[in-house]
């Protein structure tokens, strides 16, 4: 059962605020190349090998880009765990800068808490027990705050 948006919280994954999902269909120009989604750009950043990055960029869906990246875990850059949150935040800023609709929805979210309503992922989302880290939601709130103050 998915959460229902309230005055204090928005549960993005699908529904009205689906734009906050990295799987949403908003093409992203990232480091001079077009990626089908922000998910593709994020997974490409896991690697230094240009051929792997290009294969990820050419995956047909966000899900496929994730599967491909996971299949090549052993080839990830060594510093990945220390840089992944910063990189994701940069990608989110780019998504907002490149898509006025995403920016509009971010501003419309007001001061509500943003929660990635993922039952699978307790790092980026709030996970199966609704007690996960919700890093994606937290990064979106940081981006929102920075967009509103600029």
Q: What is the pLDDT along the chain (150 residues), one digit of tens a residue?
A: 456 778 888 776 556 778 998 999 999 999 999 999 999 999 999 999 999 999 999 999 999 999 999 999 999 999 999 999 999 999 999 999 999 999 999 999 999 999 998 888 999 999 999 999 999 999 999 999 999 998
> Are 120 and 128 spatial neighbours (Cβ–Cβ below 8 Å)?
yes
113 close to 8: Cβ distance less than 8 angstroms:
yes
Residue 119 placed within a domain: yes
What distance lies between CA 105 and its chain's CA centroid?
A: 15
Residue 104 located in a structural domain: yes
Residue 78 placed within a domain: no
- Contact indicator for 2, 14 with CB cutoff of 8 Å: yes
128 φ, ψ (degrees, to nearest 5) = -65, -30
Global model pTM greater than 0.85? yes
Q: How far is 147 from 73, CA to CA, in rounded Å?
A: 33
Q: What integer pLDDT is reported at residue 10 of this predicted model?
A: 79
- Is residue 147 in some structural domain? yes
Domain count, the chain: 1
For residue 21, is it within any domain? Answer: yes
Residue in this structure with the two tokens 């937290």, named with its chain if needed: 138
Q: Of 115, 101, 124, 99, which Cα lies nearest the Cα of 43?
A: 124
Pairing of strands 33-35, 113-116: unpaired
Does any domain span residue 37? no
Q: What is the reported pLDDT for 1?
A: 47
Domain that holds residue 149: 1-26+99-150
| pLDDT of amino acid 14 | 57
Long-range contacts: 50-59, Cβ < 8 Å, 24+?
57/33
CATH (domain of 4): 1.10.357.40
Does residue 89 sit within a domain?
A: no
Q: Which two tokens stand for residue 96?
A: 């907002």
């Amino acid at each position: 059962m998915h959460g229902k948006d309230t005055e204090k919280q928005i549960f993005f994954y699908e529904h009205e605020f689906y734009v906050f999902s990295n799987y949403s269909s908003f093409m992203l120009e990232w480091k001079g190349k077009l990626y089908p989604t922000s998910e593709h750009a994020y997974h490409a950043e896991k690697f230094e090998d240009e051929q792997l990055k290009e294969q990820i960029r050419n995956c047909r869906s966000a899900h496929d880009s994730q599967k491909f990246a996971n299949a090549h875990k052993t080839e990830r850059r060594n510093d990945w765990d220390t840089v992944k949150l910063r990189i994701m935040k940069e990608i989110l800023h780019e998504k907002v800068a490149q898509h006025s609709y995403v920016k509009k929805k971010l501003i419309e979210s007001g001061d509500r808490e943003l929660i990635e309503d993922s039952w699978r992922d307790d790092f980026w989302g709030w996970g199966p027990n609704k007690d996960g880290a919700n890093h994606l939601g937290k990064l979106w709130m940081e981006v929102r705050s920075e967009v509103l103050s600029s």
